[in-house]
Amino acid sequence: MVSFEQLLAEIRNGHLAPVYILAGEEPWYIDKLCDAFESQVLKEEEKAFDFSKHYGKGLVKQSLLADCRSFPLQSSRRLVILREAHDAEKDKESADFMEFLSSYFRQPTRTTILVIGYKAKPDKRRNVWKNLLNHPNIRFFNSEKPKEQQVPGIIQAMAHNENVHFSADAVQTIMELVGTDLVKLHNEIQKLAIGIPASHIISRDEVIEKVSFSRQFNIFEFYKALARKDKSKILQIGLQMARNSRENPLIKNINQVFAFYSNLLLFMYYIKRENMSPDQAAQKMNLNFYSKNDYLAAINTYSFEDVRRVLHLLLEYDLKAKGLGARVDDEVLMSELTLRLAG
């Protein structure tokens, strides 16, 4: 497998394989790489004859294969991109498109570069995916969702590409306001970069002023409010999450909050019972700077018994969410849970 940075370098250098498969659950990387192939592999005047773009929805797989088998007319190579390839699997006419292309993968046209953007986790139990992962003609990119502790570095890299710079607390603030969705983060960074001189360092206050507040709150802001027992913020965020259960599924919310309090219990144990310093406890638990600060705040507002009580409450609502007893609407359950968490 190949990394995001390696692929960008290959595209810039023009040393390209016959087939690229960009697959995984993080759409931002896949879109950026598809855009890079489209903008950099061919000159504009070559694209009229030597570039084809297909989409998974409504895919005609025979037409895709014909484009791959065609020879270039104005350039030394053809570029064929299949975007949103995962959508093809929803249509019975094109659901087997990967199997259909398997003979092409074995013997690709050497003057064609085929790029497939597949925004879903590949089912590696299927033989077609097993065979692709280590195929000599294919460069495979696994587009994984970043871990929380990786996001600040990604934000700084996005900012660098837009020729702007963030202070450390500005990075934390934009992450708190927007969350870890890379597409949304990139959009906000692009807005912040408008009219900013290259030498200027964007501050926390500028982020707060310019980042839109007509947004959905995220789970990290909920953690922060819970850690500080900020009743008004807990109610504001929790009730908004309840109203937007499609984006914030109840069981997922419960599991995430349960993990937060479980980690808090462990953090408290290391500091209060094992006499570790906060830094030692954070290192042992592999916590990033922002999580450590939330747990440090929580230590001053929760006792061991408080945390155990919350964990029992979350288990109670987990059973309710899974249908034990009378079935209650998810919005009602999340609203109830929020009120009880707020105390």
pLDDT for residue 181 is more than 80:
yes
**51: enclosing H helix or E strand:** strand 51-55
pLDDT for residue 38? 95
Cα-trace Rg, the chain? 24
CA dist 127 → 28, 102, 122, 130, 133 (Å): 27, 11, 11, 5, 10
The whole-number average pLDDT for the span 180-204 is 87
Who contacts 130 (Cβ-Cβ below 8 Å, separation ≥6)?
A: 124
pLDDT for residue 214? 45
Q: Characterize 52-68 residue by residue with b for buried, 16 or more Cβ atoms within 10 angstroms of its Cβ, and e for exposed.
A: bebebeebebeebbebb
Count of CA atoms in the C-beta half-sphere (13 A) of 37: 30
**202: enclosing H helix or E strand:** strand 201-202
The whole-number average pLDDT for the span 180-207 is 86
pLDDT for residue 325? 63
Who contacts 313 (Cβ-Cβ below 8 Å, separation ≥6)?
A: 337, 340, 341
pLDDT for residue 269 is more than 90:
yes
CB-based burial label for 100 (10 Å; 0-12, 13-18, 19+): middle
Residue 216's pLDDT band (cuts 50, 70, 90): low
Residue 227's pLDDT band (cuts 50, 70, 90): very high
Q: Which amino acid is at 85?
A: A
pLDDT for residue 326 is more than 60:
no
Q: Which amino acid is at 338?
A: T
The whole-number average pLDDT for the span 108-118 is 96
Q: Picking from 26-40, 82-96, 104-118, which range would have the lowest pLDDT averaged per residue?
A: 82-96
The whole-number average pLDDT for the span 244-263 is 90
- Dihedral pair phi/psi, residue 99, rounded to 5°: -60, -40
pLDDT digits over 270-315, tens only? 999 999 999 999 999 998 877 889 999 999 999 999 999 999 999 9
Of 178, 175, 169, 176, give the one whose Cα is nearest residue 201: 169
pLDDT for residue 191 is more than 90:
no
